[in-house]
Structure 1
């Protein structure tokens, strides 16, 4: 990890700060701030739950801090997929979501080795059978999702662990092969290419050695978002996944995303992901289902991310702070 630098900013320098819905951000902040153990954060959480004026709360008790590790900012989007499945194998339902094996060691078998040899078959680890192997792959990339059962009803699955292998981007692989230009690649493009190319499509998915295992999380109500890294439901367009090496879980984070559809918004750092690395790397949660997935897939933009730190904590970073 590069040695980061910290720059204190003023709220008036945050693009669009005055026109955001600070109450919406405060509601999401309150949903997870009670899980922050540091006494400074705990006292702020207690006051936040008393119903203060939201904009005044953030401006009075926090300082905007720009954390820089020398890498350009990158914003992407993620979502909760909704798949079709069955509790039993049969017909079109041939592709399992697996629980974590009890004897897993890291690093373990690669994605290719697991699928080519049926390494997990016959152990009773199947949670549900899905009708599309590409949907299974993208669910593993997202880390959580909902499965609509063929018998009616729905289950939710969440990340339980992985095989300890490095994640590789199949989209980048298609760009490197000259199949597409970078701006053309999206989840739908990858999905269509895999389906249209038979064995070559399967081989493409196998370049990603990482393999994810799941657990059922049906204690989360259907009207709530999936569980994030803080084991709490995440909120569309207010939850952001960050690198916890730089940003504390539960911290308010001001997003200034550039691109075709700029976004200035106060979000809460409630999640992370294997591809989220760096002080200026963030993944915005767009919601559940195909529409959310299409919107999330469009996002690959620069900008900047500013962490709102408690005033005492911000000044405790001295002498690393740049005034």
Structure 2
């Protein structure tokens, strides 16, 4: 029996159909993946979280009397604020030597709030500052040749907040050149041969490195060659950004991070006198000073009241209100020994930025400087805020 003539055609058609089916099956769009779940909204971290006194690390072991004396000073400024009137009136009525009554005052009039960073952590950097002692003279000489300047007459301070509210408290510094406002002189220009601030010398000192540290600290005592002593404090600055010479020395390998301190920067300067001027000029920021009233021995803080050694704290006021008591839990400089005490937020600083960030005021002189120069510890903070209804309001 012979094969039909149509058989090859049918076989060819079947093969072609099978090929088309295979081809089409590869062109079928895959099933879409299941939709991704909606992202969770970011968790808002509140910078201040109310807690119990039991959660304040070290509160019950602390003697509150030294910080209470500092808080009474804060009340000179705080008593004008409605939220602070009750605790300030209560404080004024207490016996400042009665530790039990003072502790009860803090526990009754205030609620402790744990300070947190935006990422939710509650630890941050705690550094130290102090008011250095310098030797100086009202007259320039070979020994005293480095000037402290008062605010120059040509320094402009421009506040644009009324026109640009988004600038907040930011102020521009500059000077007029023709019809233009240009940046004010930098450190290298102010200390250079032209001496653009000449005639505004408050006094002269003998050591450029000690003068540089005075610029960083913002206040200090100067013993003059006639035996008298004056206190000088920050009045203005030239508007240039601060640049750390310590970081520069680290970057250049002049010392390790473990070696970094004011004491070792001094030692480096003594060993490398020819490089000192160039290093200091790397920081263009410059501070102008004013002389405080005779008899003032402690510099004022941002509240305008005298700071208290080892009880005043510089903070970022965007998180911690100036004048508020703050419990600090950290360690002693270059040590793991606990340092837990009640402080008062009475100052600010250009480098003190962030929620859990503080600068510990150690006082005046070389011993205070020895602690401040080595302090770079981790710490936690609790700010004490007035209760809405204090004891006085309940009477």
Say whether the fold is shared (TM-score over 0.5).
Answer: yes
Question: What SS does the aligned partner of 1:109 have?
Answer: coil
* Kept after mapping to 2: 8 A contact 1:95/1:131: yes
1:51 matched to 2:94? yes
Residue 312 of structure 1: CA displacement? 2.5
Moved over 6 A (4+): none
For the residues of structure 2 that align with 1:256 and 1:118, how far apart are their CA atoms?
49
Cα distance in 1, alignment partners of residues 53 and 129 from structure 2: 28
CA positional deviation for 1:187: 0.6
Answering whether residue 161 of structure 2 is matched by residue 161 of structure 1, we say no
RMSD: 1.8
Cα displacement (A) at 1:9? 1.3
Partner of 1:234: 307
Map 1:28-47 → 2, pairs under 5 A: 28-36=70-78, 37-47=80-90
Aligned equivalent of 2:259:
184
Is the CA contact 1:74–1:300 (under 8 Å) kept in the aligned structure 2? Answer: yes
Q: Is the 8 A contact 2:312 2:344 kept in 1?
A: yes
Instruction: Provide the rounded CA distance (Å) in 1 between the counterparts of 2:255 and 2:46.
Output: 35
Counterparts of 1:127 and 1:213, CA distance in 2: 9
State the secondary structure of the residue aligned to 1:21.
Answer: coil
Counterpart residue number, 1:318 = none
Q: Which has the higher contact order (CA 8 A, sep 6+)?
A: 1
Q: Secondary structure at the match of 1:116?
A: coil
Distance 1:5 1:288 in 2: 32
Structure 2 residue aligned with 1:126: 201
1:98 aligns with 2:114: no
Deviation at 1:6, TM superposition (A): 2.4
Give 3-state SS (helix, strand or coil) of 1:267's partner. Answer: strand
| TM-aligned CA distance change 1:246 to 1:155, over 3 Å | same
- Which of 66, 73, 84 is equivalent to 1:24? 66
8 Å CA contact retained: 2:250, 2:256: yes
Distance 1:201 1:42, change over 3 A: same
Do the aligned partners of 1:159 and 1:215 also contact (CA within 8 Å) in 2? yes
1:206 aligns with 2:281: yes
Count of residue pairs the alignment pairs up: 309
Please state whether the residue corresponding to 1:174 is helix, strand or coil.
helix
Which stretch of the first structure deviates more once superposed, 93-102 or 61-70? 61-70
Give the equivalent residue in structure 1 for 2:4.
Answer: none
Partners of 2:141 and 2:373 in 1: how far apart? 31
TM-superposed CA distance for 1:194, in Å, is 2.1
Name the SS of the counterpart of 2:360 in structure 1: strand
Q: CA deviation at 1:43?
A: 2.1
Q: Determine if contact 1:253/1:305 at 8 Å carries over to the other structure.
A: yes
- In structure 1, the partner of 2:11 is none
Q: Which has the larger radius of gyration?
A: 2
For each residue in 1:126-175, what CA deviation from the matched residue of structure 2 results, as whole angstroms up to 9, or x when unmatched? Answer: 11110111111000000000000111110110000101111111111111
Equivalent residues of 1:240, 1:271 under 8 A apart: yes
Q: Distance in 1 between matches of 2:337 and 2:308?
A: 20
Greater shift, 252-261 or 302-311, is seen at: 252-261
The CA deviation at 1:88 is 0.5
Cα 1:149–1:219, aligned 2, differ >3 Å: closer, same or farther? closer
Q: Structure 1 CA distance, aligned partners of 2:144 and 2:47? A: 51
Measured in 2, the distance between the counterparts of 1:19 and 1:103 equals: 53
